[in-house]
Amino acid sequence: MNVKQLPNLLTGLRIAMVPFYLFSLYFVRGSIGVFLALLVFVVAGITDYLDGYLARRLDCVTDLGKVIDPLADKLIVSVALISLAFEPFNLISLIVVIIILARELLVTILRKYYSARKIYLSANNWGKAKTATQMTGIIGSLLYAVLREYSFIASEYYGLIEQGIRIFFWVVTVITIVSGLSYVANRTRKN
């Protein structure tokens, strides 16, 4: 294997983690399933960092990588967000998930449009803030679920922590909307 293929291989691995995340939650179930889902998501986050770092470090940024890397991010984050809105978690509002996924769909359509014209767009600072807050919120929520499953948190704090998670995700939603508007505004100015 050529070392320059490693970033795209890591991106492919992140895409392959999506079914493992779902399997952990809905087939393993219980405390072990939630722990495995957290582990899968953290490993996916690490591969996200590593593939970008290696692509720049090895000077092997490819057009394919520019397309599949954001797709891999959107897949794992979307699946995790949806799972947080339903059983076994019920931690965030479905409205939050719909707004975030609508933004992701819009940006994906725009990326495809520009990609067909051989224009590859990288994330701006708002997009990076959106990704960082989404990842932080998802990992924090999954960690809370694991700690709750193993009774490391006193039950009298459940309501307070869950309210904090809901508020945090509304902040994430605002950042997501701003990043989407910023993305659209930047692209229309360039054309």
What pLDDT, in 10s, does the model give residues 5-41?
Answer: 888 899 999 999 999 999 999 999 789 999 999 999 9
| Tokens, residue 95 | 């409205």
pLDDT digits (tens, 9 = 90+) for 105-154: 988 888 778 777 776 666 678 888 998 999 999 999 999 999 999 999 99
**Contact, 136 vs 45, CB < 8 A?**
no
Amino acid at 25: L
Peptide bond into 88 cis (omega under 30): yes
Residue in this structure with the two tokens 């006193």, named with its chain if needed:
154
Which of 16, 92, 86 lies closest to 47, judged by CA? 16
pLDDT digits (tens, 9 = 90+) for 49-80: 898 888 888 888 877 887 788 889 889 999 99
Backbone angles phi, psi at 89, to 5 degrees: -100, -60
Sequence-ordered alpha helix ranges (H) in 58-157: 63-85, 94-116, 125-149
Rounded Cα distance, 130 and 144, in Å = 21
pTM of the predicted model, to two decimals?
0.88
Q: Give how many domains the chain has, as a whole number.
A: 1
174: CATH: 1.20.120
Give the residue numbers spanning the domain of 47.
3-190
